[in-house]
Amino acid sequence: MTSDSLSQQLKDLGLELGFAQIGIAPAVMPTGFHRLLQWIHNDYSAGMKWIELRKDAYRHPAGVMPGTRSVIMAAMNYHDGATSSGGGRVARYAWGSADYHDVLKPRLRQLAAFLRTAMPDSRNRVVIDTAPLLERDFGRLAGIGWFGKNTMLISRSIGSWFFLGAVLTDLELAYDEPVEQNFCGSCTRCLDACPTAAFPEPGVLDARRCISYLTIEHRKAPIPHELRQGIGDWLFGCDICQEVCPWNRFAPDTTLREFQQISAMNAVDCCELLTLSTTQFEARFKDSPLSRPARAGLLRNAAIVLGNSGDPSAEPALTAALGDVEPMIRGAAAWALGRLQTPNAFAAIESQLLMEADASVRDEMVMALQNR
């Protein structure tokens, strides 16, 4: 079988499996490698230290699988046309009934199995954003799209609402033409819309200010005070820079059943969320991306969303959260009650302050009382 024939059959199979686009790139040092090193040097990676620890492995796909010659990139749309409906907002990619890793991985394995059947001596490895591979760089090299000013990979045919997965192989396949042109033009909607000013320049993201990073990966510490108001109503992740992107008017409205929205995941009741015990939290979110920040991180986020809402009806839930076992949740609840600025909210903070033993939480309470 020729490389052209094998590559085309592989692409046809990928489309049958539900991928929106399949592209193939040669295994080379990605052009973004040196930008990655500069990004790390500028401390824009924030607390994601695993990126720096593995930075040398990003130099070439061989750092993931020795002998790699080709990188097969697969894009899967997760846009279903639904709109957000209030409450604690969740990034669109997590609206469905399953974690995307669990959906993409078996399909990518079928692509790898096809290669092994066609070429029994071939070596192949499936990758979904956990290995040190610059997926977006190889997505561009494989002809799927270009880098937007919001750092997202954007496709002219499906926008940017898609997951990326890869199959590394030691086979030499037929390669697609890379996307060399940037089609953003003079548009800066994504940069202008970011409420926390997370883009120091076009095409560069400072994770320390990114709502997605703050609400998901920054899960073991309080969110900095100066960024809390910018969180707005985002409970988990953020889609603002994609929502305003003109190219997403081309996004398909059909996706796999697993990615179609569940209303309770589209807009979460933050007051109800604050009542969940550890056992209840794990039972509810065990198969969902929302488990990533763990209970302390997600409930901290819920308190901040309620504080930003200014809704006095959140007062009972936040008052109860002042007695949570997690200091980070208690501190966020105190901040949120201070934002509500009601007599009962301030009274609740004063009462709990008399019993609070954690110094950081006491500091939050004292600062909250200064809002009177």
Residues designated catalytic: 129
Nearest residue to 91 via CA among 214, 239, 198: 239
The 3-class SS string of the chain reads CCHHHHHHHHHHHHHHCCCCEEEEEECCCCCCHHHHHHHHHCCCCCCCHHHHHCHHHHHCHHHCCCCCCEEEEEEEECCCCCCCCCCEEECHHHCCCCCHHHHHHHHHHHHHHHHHHHCCCCCEEEECCCCCCCHHHHHHHCCCCEECCCCCEEECCCECCEEEEEEEECCCCCCCCCCCCCCCCCCCHHHHHCCCCCCCECCECCHHHCHHHHHHHCCCCCCCHHHHHHHCCEEECCCHHHHCCHHHHHCCCCCCHHHCCCHHHHEECHHHHCCCCHHHHHHHHCCCHHHCCHHHHHHHHHHHHHHHHCCHHHHHHHHHHCCCCCHHHHHHHHHHHHHHCCHHHHHHHHHHHCCCCCHHHHHHHHHHHCCC
Contact status, residue 82 vs residue 266, Cβ threshold 8 Å: yes
Nearest residue to 227 via CA among 147, 144, 238, 30: 238
The amino acid sitting at 171 is: L
Radius of gyration (C-alpha) of the chain in whole angstroms:
23
The amino acid sitting at 330 is: R
Antiparallel, parallel or unpaired: β 124-127 and 162-169? antiparallel
